Structure 1
Amino acid sequence: MQTLLERAARDDSQAWREIVERYSPLIFGICARYAIRGADAQDVCGAVWLRLVAGLREIREPRALPGWLVTTSRNECLMLLRQLGRQIPVDTAQLPDPADPAPEVDLDAGLRHETAHRVLDELPHRDRQLLTMLFSDPPVPYREISATLGIPVGAIGPNRARSLARARRTQAFAALAYAG
């Protein structure tokens, strides 16, 4: 199965539509964080897509695309603000309410959730089972994990550490670390 980026690199218009549809909210969320809206946000979004078209072959790991888009969007926002000579307001009455989450917070959480599932998909079945049980809400009790997986209760912690170490070595985790 080819990735969206591979299809886009071959000028597959459907792949480009999917990429734009999937990630435009992320770009607009970054714009909102910099108080860039309307036509200016559209300009930033267009500039990001142009940079992606120009640099598509530079992205070696397709799972790193969200991080690349975040970084590029931030850079485009800052460049626009410099060009317009605008400054971020210092009057606290003009600042967004910190109690209101930024639009990209939900998107970032969604991307992290999606990446966590990709990390799990790359792990051996036993690691996947253990980590899913340990990080479920509420967590599965150790006695139940022991009975289900046939692991002594005292060995669950060390097995967890080894499973997490393997998770950190997956490509999906590397993409998440790059995106942060």
Structure 2
Amino acid sequence: MTDRSATDLVSAATHGDESAWAELVRRYTPLVYSVIRSHDLGGADAADVNQTVWLRLVEHLNQVREPEALAAWLAVTTRRECYRMSRLGRRTQPVDPSDGAFEAYHGTWADVAAPDEDLLRAERRQALRESFAQLPPRCQELLSLLTADPPLTYREVAGRLGLPVGSIGPTQARCLRRLRDSPALASYLEPGGTTGRKWGERDGAVAAGR
């Protein structure tokens, strides 16, 4: 499994192969957390960002046109969520004017700093927490362990929950889908994606240019 390309993994995960999803999470979680740490987020904020990023991937996995750009897309998406979370916490805009990825991903500075967007982000964060609270206890426990900082290995998570190591990734995928389908969260997950378009070449190029 670990030798499979991103293209193979995305294709398999899109067609319901939960072991492929598990490998995607295992492979790219360190990247997601490295971006989160670079923004000095920790605790509940880091967990919220991590959970949101993987929810986004579950939501848009079937829209992936260039799977080899997945790492770049995850980096850009994580960075975007970190900026939003930072604004909520400090009510300031912690941006780097030289950050081309940020500008390209969001459009204009005025749009990024819009109070309505901050309000929407706060509402979505609350909806995420309400939806999480409605999950079965087993899902809550599993997702909490998988969003710990520093990240736990699947073996460590399996040991704490008394589950086979091979079941962790597939179970996470099912729990994330239940979270995504929660009525409280559904209205905050845009059908067209976070930017209203499919991602692929442009997102990969933007991130690679940083």
Q: TM-score, normalised by structure 1?
A: 0.47
Please tell me whether Structure 1 or Structure 2 has the larger radius of gyration of its CA atoms. Answer: 1
Q: Normalising by the residue count of structure 2, what TM-score does the alignment of the two structures yield?
A: 0.41
Higher relative contact order (CA 8 A, sep 6+): 2
